Structure 1
């Protein structure tokens, strides 16, 4: 059986939980990090030397960390033709948007999350204002991409929707002014109808 370590309030853990549900895979979940602690224990560091979440162990003993890499692994091993597009062109679309999350979207999302949720007392209001402006432009790019198709990789949900979907849920929860992005809103509505997204991603930010 698959075993996942990480607290469910972590956006990176939510990606994996949602992917597991989409694939219908049985798994054991061990809450770790945040109020649960345990990241610095020698047992956990032996699994993941970074001391971060999530970490996934497959039944054959293979270990995986870094959330997008875990989603890719699960999709490739268990989701051929569903989360893992068999067409290389569609798979490339999913891949590039997955990589776009940490390289481009992640930093301004982190600024708003820390400012509104994690440490509002010490929030840098100028940095938050800049992040809000930047995110309006970045989510506009996603909206334009979705104008021609219902999901990130094409006509059906793929691994490419998972990291972006987790982050758009957070962005929509921030108390900010957002532009009107109808294609993004329709995509979010499609994601919200999926049980795994509703169960693991549509939860309060902590």
Structure 2
């Protein structure tokens, strides 16, 4: 049984929970972070000295933190090819794109854009800064748009761990009030993600609790 700490509106927790759902694993999840608090307690800091979510413990194993490491652990222990290839070359190909998506898409969207648009009061938002962050993010999404011209998924014909790292922020990217290019293939990709039960259950959910309550 997996034990997971982290609120369901955290994008990093959503990536983890989506992976858990795809693999059909049993779990218990505890809300932690943001309005739920608890990440600064002695007990939590013993699990993760950084005070961040998600944290995962598998049965009586050690507490694991950092989303990418957790995803690779779950894939390595519970998944098989093509989601997490058995051969080192195939696995490195998936891991390469997973790391690319984490660094160039997820991290360039969540704090630089989502926080500034959704979690910042409107009268404190800086349109110039947001536009610059969007330009940087979109230059990376253009790479994914091109890859998806010839592929159903980011690593080829099959759904893999890399799609979780790329796809878990696309629901919010297409939902929030920002200017976007006409991403025809990324739109199709999101539509395909929406057909996956685990994506709908753990990612395509309300984030209203994160919205700034100030005008």
Structure-2 separation of matches of 1:51 and 1:90: 34
Q: Please tell me whether the aligned partners of residues 102 and 166 of structure 2 are also in contact (alpha carbons under 8 angstroms).
A: no
Counterpart residue number, 1:19: 19
> Where in structure 2 are there 5+ consecutive unaligned residues?
211-215
The TM-score normalised by the length of structure 2 is 0.90
1:174 paired with 2:176, answer yes
- Structure 1: 4+ residue segments shifted above 4 A: none
1:115 paired with 2:108, answer no
Partner-residue secondary structure (3-state), 1:154:
coil
Counterpart residue number, 1:184: 186
Counterpart residue number, 1:52: 52
Post-superposition offset of 1:196: 0.5
Counterpart residue number, 1:33: 33
Deviations 1:109-129 (A, max 9, x none): 422112111113422221101
Counterpart residue number, 1:200: 202
The TM-score normalised by the length of structure 1 is 0.93
Structure-1 separation of matches of 2:63 and 2:110: 28
Structure-2 separation of matches of 1:154 and 1:92: 14
Q: Please tell me whether the aligned partners of residues 5 and 56 of structure 2 are also in contact (alpha carbons under 8 angstroms).
A: yes
Q: Please tell me whether the aligned partners of residues 90 and 153 of structure 1 are also in contact (alpha carbons under 8 angstroms).
A: no
Post-superposition offset of 1:27: 0.5
Single out whichever of 164-173 and 43-52 deviates more from structure 2: 164-173
Partner-residue secondary structure (3-state), 1:160:
helix
